[in-house]
């Protein structure tokens, strides 16, 4: 029997349709098999599609699962934000509660509403506690893999793996121009990411001409996409890295505006808040979203 499944495209980290990072969202996935979900994610052909299912956790409103066109992943920031925005606006969650809580493979992800004049302006998700670890790889090799010069690497900061749910390689770069001109060797980058169990490779710079606090690009061939336009998970991990590596002053609260996606004509803005908590920090990633497409899939 054919099932009709509602689906949405939600552009995350933007206020403009066709900006930011598009995520697929399936709000009612309770009757889908794992194979159905993977096929739908492949059909929608976005970097990630989120599927909402009933949760058995008393502290969660839904279970959320994320699929790329080729595989399931444990966490996706922009799909979480897009799903929360959709549930707040199309499914009236703003009227039910001041937040929504998703149960994911990495734990509970609460997402709260940020309102101005009774209008939803952003949603803000709390990511899992940040972790940072070293990696045995030379700056020259990293530069070659991401398609920049070794002299473009900003050696004031370490190349490390950072994690607020999934691991990302943090690559400090001196200039935005170098990041924009990066031409990664995707096959070799995919191999390196798999060798070190890294989800994405995240280039960042403080050279933004005052437009943002930080500017980034994110490459992720090993999860089935060459470049992710605006990356909630990686920029959350970046906030944790900056704090834990003492690049941002510890025991102080920081709010960062991060720009991403401009090189591939999907410009977006993320707002990352870092709040000290004992030896670690709480990382929140916020942004707006726009529902751009809605329809039905016949399964």
- Report the catalytic residues: 48
Nearest CA-CA partner of 48 in 232, 179, 257, 294? 232
Output b/e per residue, 238-268; b: 16+ Cβ within 10 A. bbbbbbbeeebeeeeebebebbbbbbeebbb
Tokens of 42: 């492949």
* Packed helices 232-244 and 77-89: angle between N→C axes, nearest 10 degrees: 120
Q: What are phi and psi of 177, to 5 degrees?
A: -60, -45
- What is the rounded CA–CA span in Å between residue 277 and residue 216? 26
H or E, element range at 279: none
Cite the DSSP H helix spans in the chain.
34-44, 77-89, 93-96, 139-146, 176-181, 186-195, 232-244
Nearest CA-CA partner of 166 in 206, 204, 196, 124? 196
Nearest CA-CA partner of 141 in 175, 168, 171? 171
For 140-143, the CB contacts below 8 A with 24+ separation are: 141/192, 142/169, 142/171
Nearest CA-CA partner of 179 in 107, 263, 297, 251? 263
């Amino acid at each position: 029997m054919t099932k009709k499944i509602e689906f949405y495209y939600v552009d995350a980290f933007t206020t403009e349709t066709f900006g930011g990072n598009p995520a697929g969202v399936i709000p009612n996935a309770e009757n889908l098999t794992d194979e159905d979900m993977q096929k739908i994610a492949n059909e929608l052909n976005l970097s990630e599609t989120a599927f909402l299912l009933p949760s058995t956790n008393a502290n969660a409103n839904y279970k959320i699962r994320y699929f790329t066109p080729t595989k399931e992943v444990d966490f996706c920031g922009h799909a979480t934000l897009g799903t929360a925005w959709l549930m707040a606006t199309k499914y009236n969650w703003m009227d039910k509660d001041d937040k929504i809580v998703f149960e994911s493979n990495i734990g509970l992800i609460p997402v709260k509403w940020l309102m101005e004049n009774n209008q939803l302006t952003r949603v803000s998700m709390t990511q899992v506690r940040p972790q940072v670890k070293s990696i045995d790889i030379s700056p020259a090799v990293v530069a070659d893999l991401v398609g920049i010069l070794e002299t473009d690497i900003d050696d004031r900061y370490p190349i490390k793996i950072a994690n607020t749910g999934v691991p990302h390689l943090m690559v400090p770069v001196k200039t935005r121009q170098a990041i924009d001109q990066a031409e990664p060797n995707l096959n070799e980058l995919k191999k390196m990411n798999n060798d070190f169990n890294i989800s994405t490779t995240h280039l960042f710079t403080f050279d933004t001409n005052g437009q943002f606090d930080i500017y980034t690009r994110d490459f992720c061939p090993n999860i089935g996409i060459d470049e992710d336009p605006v990356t909630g998970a990686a920029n959350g991990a970046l906030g944790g890295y900056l704090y834990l590596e003492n690049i941002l002053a510890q025991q102080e609260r920081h709010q960062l505006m991060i720009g991403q996606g401009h090189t591939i004509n999907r410009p977006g803005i993320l707002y990352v808040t870092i709040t000290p908590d004992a030896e670690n920090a709480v990382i929140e990633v916020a942004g707006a979203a726009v529902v751009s497409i809605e329809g039905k899939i016949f399964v």
